[in-house]
């Protein structure tokens, strides 16, 4: 049985002999793509996620899951990898951040997670839907982040975020928080524990790139 990754694939490093320091900073890097589909009535139909991981980490995953030693992952090995990922990130809401007017929206578990390798890089692909019907409000935001601070996952370009079916009366923008400004704006809620070890504080979302859709009310 494969070694489980309790804190997503980041803790694969632990499984192969590395340790996590008290001061956490990204060790794994991934470029993300987001596709948001909106229904004609303004409700969110689904989110489509694609994460492409860096070469070093992808090679580490390849070695870990290549059980027959042929330097590639066959369908069974990819399925085992996808199952491990699913079990690992489910407790972190699949690294998703969805909010309506500042209130967290609960997302249903994706029915399927696909693991693939393209150009020697690991790809994670899945779709998700809100657990309850989500209609676009005055401000609806979508993003991804790793609450453990171990994985730096981001939309490198604004063009990596796509919206299909946005109502004509709504406006969309990609927001990239300035770290210093984010800390200053959230100073009251950030404790010494956060600065010493942000793992599990769930505050790393204040630094995360996000898509905001603003729709007039009334």
Rounded CA-CA distance 104/117 in Å is: 33
165 CB-contact burial (10 Å; exposed 0-12 / middle 13-18 / buried 19+)? middle
Please count the residues of the chain.
218
Cβ contacts of 61 within 8 Å, gap of 6 or more:
9, 12, 53, 81, 122
How many domains, in total, are found in the chain? 1
Q: Region 45-65: what's the mean pLDDT?
A: 94
Read off the pLDDT of residues 73-102 as tens digits, 9 standing for 90 and up.
Answer: 999 999 999 998 888 888 889 999 999 998
The answer to whether 141 and 211 are in contact (CB under 8 A) is: yes
With a CB cutoff of 8 Å and minimum separation 6, the contacts of 178 are none
Long-range CB contacts for residues 14-17, cutoff 8 Å, separation at least 24: 15/64, 16/60, 16/63, 16/64
In a domain, 72, yes or no: yes
Q: Is residue 79 part of a domain?
A: yes
Q: What is the pTM of this model?
A: 0.83
Taking the C-alpha atoms of residue 180 and residue 212, their distance in angstroms, rounded to an integer, is: 20
Assess if residue 123 is contained within a domain. Answer: yes
Closest C-alpha to 122, from 47, 65, 46, 48:
65
Q: Is residue 15 part of a domain?
A: no
Average pLDDT of the residues in 10-34: 58
8 Å CB contact between 49 and 34: yes
- Give a yes or no: residue 30 inside a domain: yes
Which pLDDT score, from 0 to 100, does residue 203 have?
A: 62
Structure tokens at 63: 């070695």
Write the pLDDT tens digit of every residue in 163-185. 999 999 999 999 998 766 766 66
Is residue 67, in this structure, part of any structural domain at all?
A: yes
Q: Whole-angstrom Cα distance, residue 19 to residue 13?
A: 7
Evaluate whether residue 153 is within a structural domain: yes
Q: Residue 139's domain spans which residues?
A: 23-214
- Supply the mean pLDDT for the chain: 83
Which of 37-46, 166-175, 191-200 shows the lowest per-residue confidence on average (mean pLDDT)? 191-200
| Residue 12 domain-assigned (yes or no) | no
């Amino acid at each position: 049985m494969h070694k489980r990754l309790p804190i997503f694939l980041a803790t694969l490093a632990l499984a192969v002999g590395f340790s996590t320091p008290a001061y956490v900073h990204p060790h794994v890097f991934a470029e993300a793509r987001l596709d948001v589909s909106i229904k004609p009535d303004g409700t969110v139909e689904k989110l489509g996620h694609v994460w492409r991981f860096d070469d070093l980490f992808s090679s580490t995953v390849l070695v870990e899951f290549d059980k027959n030693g042929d330097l590639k992952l066959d369908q069974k090995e990819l399925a085992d990898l996808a199952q491990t990922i699913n079990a690992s990130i489910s407790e972190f809401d699949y690294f998703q951040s969805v909010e309506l007017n500042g209130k967290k929206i609960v997302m249903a578990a994706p029915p399927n997670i696909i693991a693939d390798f393209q150009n020697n890089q690991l790809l994670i692909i899945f779709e998700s839907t809100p657990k309850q019907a989500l209609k676009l409000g005055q401000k609806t935001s979508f993003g991804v982040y790793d609450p453990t601070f171990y994985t730096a996952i981001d939309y490198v370009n604004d063009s990596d975020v796509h919206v299909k079916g946005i109502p004509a009366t709504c406006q969309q923008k990609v927001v990239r928080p300035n770290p210093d400004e984010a800390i200053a704006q959230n100073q009251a809620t950030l404790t010494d524990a956060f600065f010493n070890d942000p793992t599990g504080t769930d505050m790393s979302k204040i630094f995360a790139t996000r898509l905001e859709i603003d729709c007039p009310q009334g």
